[in-house]
Structure 1
Amino acid sequence: MYDMMERKFANPEEVFADIKDGSVIASSGFNRAMAPEYLLEKLYDHYRETGHPKHLFFEFETTTGMPGIGTDKVAKQIYESGDTEFIDGMLIPFTGFSPWSAKLIQENIVEGYMWAIGVAANWFREVAAGRPGLLTKVGLGIFMDPRDPDFQGGLMNERARSRRRANVSLVHIDGEEYLLYRAPQPDVAFIRGTTSDEQGNISVEEEGAVTSVLSIAQAAKVRHRGTVIAQVKRITKCCSRPAKSIEVPGPLVDYVIKAPREVQWQTGSYEYHPAISGEDYIPDLNEILMESAKNMSPIEYVIARRAAIELTDLMTKYGRTLVINLGIGIPVYTSIVLNQEGLQNYVIGTVEPGAWGGVSLAGNDFGVAISPSALIRMPDQFANYEGSIIDAAVLGFMQVDPAGNVNASYLPGSVFTGPGGFPVIARGAPNLIFAGRFTAGKTDEYIRDGRIFVNRTDSEKIKFVRKIALKVFSASEAMKQGQNVTYITERGVFRLTSDGLLLTEVAPGIDIDRDILGMMEYEVRISDDLREMDPAIFDISSRMNLRSRVISEVTENVPINGE
């Protein structure tokens, strides 16, 4: 027995020599959180030295690493060397943190398949249970739908369309449409934890997320007993960790590899912060919020303030706290506004990998939160989104068409970033707020005396276009489900109706014909009850007194600012 346990702890070269050519490798990781980047980089080093294993197919729950690290580092080396035998293809929900992977896909060097993060996370869980794939309504009417003329179910290039290794099929049950997602069962699983004991029990006490590591390990084990390799920071005595802290039981783990600390960071900016892993709690988060606010322009601040008003109205409507999700970019700034207004205890933010509460971090730290109140597994988190358990979501957008369909992932001439968690959240949120600048590119806009002024520039790029480049949100599906959908910009606010977009509010100082209608590729209906956006939004030196709107309406049992 001792020898068997001892064999679990090996160096990478010994372990990787057993991985066969053509293997399917699943990997955990939400950007750098829970990313076994050391395993991935060492596997590629082993290939360069020995020529094996090769012709691999990778299945990522999100992305393993960040720019220059993990997946991206390996993809860059493959691209620059021209040696493409290491990898044949990848199923990857998000390449925003791996631009070199995006290049491999976009230039048709490897097969590229893209599903939403929540689809991938729950697919691992379904495979682990021995089921044929994931059955869901997520993806209907967007690029992941097999009826989409361009991407046919997330097939992102010609190699993928030829091989069709990851398939999406249309299924009818009791007259309703669903999608069935299928892909090869993994032969090998790369996962990460903080600590392994001598039996290979893996705990995650210093991680900023749990993600889908258990499901990924199980998916490799079902039926054909594949290989599970865990990257950890430390190894300790047998059974020294509390049983409830174990995320992956030792019998599911074949090998444990201790990684150097420099490749075991919680996020892009933090090697280790106890308030990210929930081991400590910072009651006053203003300093962190103000640090995030440094990157926010006045125009972005205005948009976030209007989004905060939308959430405030929902609080008064429901008379209780809200559970929400905030997307990357401007939506994250909404949390800053809510904290400034003293409403942070009325809005519980959630992040895709599993954090509830606290302050969600942005940029290379996206996916974790400072001082979360709870950390759950990623498949469970996405159940909150897909099942409409959350109350609202604030998401960004790149393009909007006349019907209200949204592209948030790709513009012609740029690289595919993948859908991320967007399709699941956008489909499930009963109240959906798209928040972003009215145009892209360089725009000369400024705020003065509570009004917004727009000067024309040649580099403005229209975002309200006749045809979007990639559909990641379906307006028709939203109407079927009865979702309340709002589009907030600095110039005006639109609502989704059965007849498409309706302009309901205009910012003070904005000329509708010149600054809104003249910068859209299509005509839009204007509400008979067109209103001016609340002038308080544009008085950016002052608070908007949103707390006074809520305090008399929301349940008295909910504390404000800890009172």
Structure 2
Amino acid sequence: MDKTVATAAEAVADIVDGSQIAVGGFGVVGVPEVLIDALRDSGAKDLEVISNNAGVDGRGLGKLLETRQISRIIASYVGENKEFARQYLSGELEVELTPQGTMAEKLRAGGAGIPAFYTVTGVGSQVAEGGIPWKYDDQGNVVKESPAKEVRTFSTFGEEKEYALEESLAPDFALVRAAKGDRAGNLVFNKSAQNFNPPAAKAGRITIAEVEELVEVGEIDPACVHVPGVYVTRVLPLTPEQAADKPIEKTTLKEA
């Protein structure tokens, strides 16, 4: 089955207002920039996005924040985007902060068909007890906060511990970027791009992958496949120029 599409606009054409979308990447690494550009141009709004972070100003999800197309974000880290912070604190954006490892597992479990799981992460804090501000009004008052989670005690590894129940994530769509992919949707991610891309790809009901290098079926060693094609709905081959567009988030130089 050839899952390739000719354009990014075609790839995201069925993402409508109010869709829930998981987006791969970490900072500016492994971010599906071309698909995000197409989603911005589509005009779809009131989107709920699941992503480790909200990109940076002018890159990644920062572009959708600039156009006010995102109404809610489930994220772990938000410190690199000034527009994100402004919208959150001014009451324009709802934000569900989630521990990074927990969010990765919520996506992985969603892709595996597991509706919920228990974790020790967050027990004894507002993560489990509730009260984390999700949304402010324009006066800075908290109008929505995280609810308390179910906590149970389990005997594990020879001792009793409390664990909090976390619900899994299975979004309507997932957008990811792979270093290599074939026409059947088998994907390979390069180095640190193996961050949230694989769990996001497996969690999405419809997964759309932009690939830097498109190869024919059989050219990827099965042992090297990070995400099998069964999880992938569409494949968008990138141009050499698009594939080469890889910014550096921060450059640190030592004195000569």
Give the deviation of 1:133 after TM superposition. 2.8
The reply on whether 1:72 has 2:62 as its aligned counterpart is yes
Match of 1:24 in 2: 20
The 3-state SS of whatever aligns with 1:145 is: helix
The reply on whether 1:257 has 2:236 as its aligned counterpart is yes
The 3-state SS of whatever aligns with 1:173 is: strand
The letter for the 1-side match of 2:88 is I
Q: Which of residues 184, 189, 200 is equivalent to 2:185?
A: 200
1:491-538 deviation line (CA, Å, top 9, x unaligned): xxxxxxxxxxxxxxxxxxxxxxxxxxxxxxxxxxxxxxxxxxxxxxxx
Count of aligned pairs between the two proteins: 246
Q: Measure the CA separation in 2 of the matches of 1:183 and 1:109.
A: 26
The letter for the 2-side match of 1:34 is G
The letter for the 2-side match of 1:127 is G
Give the deviation of 1:112 after TM superposition. 0.9
Match of 2:121 in 1: 138
The reply on whether 1:155 has 2:138 as its aligned counterpart is no
Q: Which of residues 40, 43, 59 is equivalent to 1:44?
A: 40
1:500-539 alignment to 2 at 5 Å?
none
Give the deviation of 1:126 after TM superposition. 1.9
The letter for the 2-side match of 1:124 is L
The letter for the 1-side match of 2:56 is M
1:23-422 alignment to 2 at 5 Å?
23-47=19-43, 53-60=44-51, 62-63=52-53, 65-78=55-68, 86-147=69-130, 152=131, 154-158=132-136, 169-174=149-154, 176-182=161-167, 185-204=170-189, 206-220=190-204, 226-261=205-240, 263-264=242-243, 268-269=247-248, 292-294=253-255
The reply on whether 1:11 has 2:7 as its aligned counterpart is yes
Q: Measure the CA separation in 1 of the matches of 2:179 and 2:86.
A: 32
Contact 2:108 2:199 in 1 (8 A): yes
CA shift in 2, pair 1:100/1:258, >3 Å: farther
Give the deviation of 1:207 after TM superposition. 4.2
Q: Measure the CA separation in 2 of the matches of 1:64 and 1:34.
A: 13
Contact 2:212 2:238 in 1 (8 A): yes
Contact 1:27 1:64 in 2 (8 A): no
The two structures have a TM-score, normalised by structure 2, of 0.83
Could you say which structure has the higher helix fraction?
1
Q: Any unmatched runs of 5+ in structure 1? A: 48-52, 79-85, 221-225, 271-287, 296-563
Q: Measure the CA separation in 1 of the matches of 2:124 and 2:222.
A: 44
The letter for the 1-side match of 2:134 is M
Contact 1:135 1:178 in 2 (8 A): yes
Give the deviation of 1:255 after TM superposition. 0.7
Give the deviation of 1:178 after TM superposition. 2.1
CA shift in 2, pair 1:238/1:132, >3 Å: closer
Q: Measure the CA separation in 1 of the matches of 2:231 and 2:148.
A: 29
CA shift in 2, pair 1:203/1:28, >3 Å: same
The letter for the 2-side match of 1:254 is T
1:383-424 deviation line (CA, Å, top 9, x unaligned): xxxxxxxxxxxxxxxxxxxxxxxxxxxxxxxxxxxxxxxxxx
Give the deviation of 1:128 after TM superposition. 2.0
Give the deviation of 1:294 after TM superposition. 3.5
Q: Measure the CA separation in 1 of the matches of 2:80 and 2:228.
A: 30
Contact 2:4 2:237 in 1 (8 A): no
Give the deviation of 1:25 after TM superposition. 0.3
Q: Measure the CA separation in 2 of the matches of 1:146 and 1:256.
A: 41
Q: Measure the CA separation in 2 of the matches of 1:45 and 1:167.
A: 35
Q: Measure the CA separation in 2 of the matches of 1:238 and 1:22.
A: 35
CA shift in 2, pair 1:203/1:37, >3 Å: same
The 3-state SS of whatever aligns with 1:144 is: helix
CA shift in 2, pair 1:292/1:170, >3 Å: farther
Q: Measure the CA separation in 2 of the matches of 1:209 and 1:96.
A: 20
RMSD between aligned residues: 2.8
Q: Any unmatched runs of 5+ in structure 2? A: 155-159
Contact 1:193 1:202 in 2 (8 A): yes
Give the deviation of 1:189 after TM superposition. 0.6
The two structures have a TM-score, normalised by structure 1, of 0.40
1:298-345 deviation line (CA, Å, top 9, x unaligned): xxxxxxxxxxxxxxxxxxxxxxxxxxxxxxxxxxxxxxxxxxxxxxxx
Match of 2:157 in 1: none
Q: Measure the CA separation in 1 of the matches of 2:92 and 2:114.
A: 31
Q: Measure the CA separation in 2 of the matches of 1:203 and 1:168.
A: 38
The letter for the 2-side match of 1:178 is Y
Q: Measure the CA separation in 1 of the matches of 2:136 and 2:240.
A: 40
Percent pairwise identity: 24
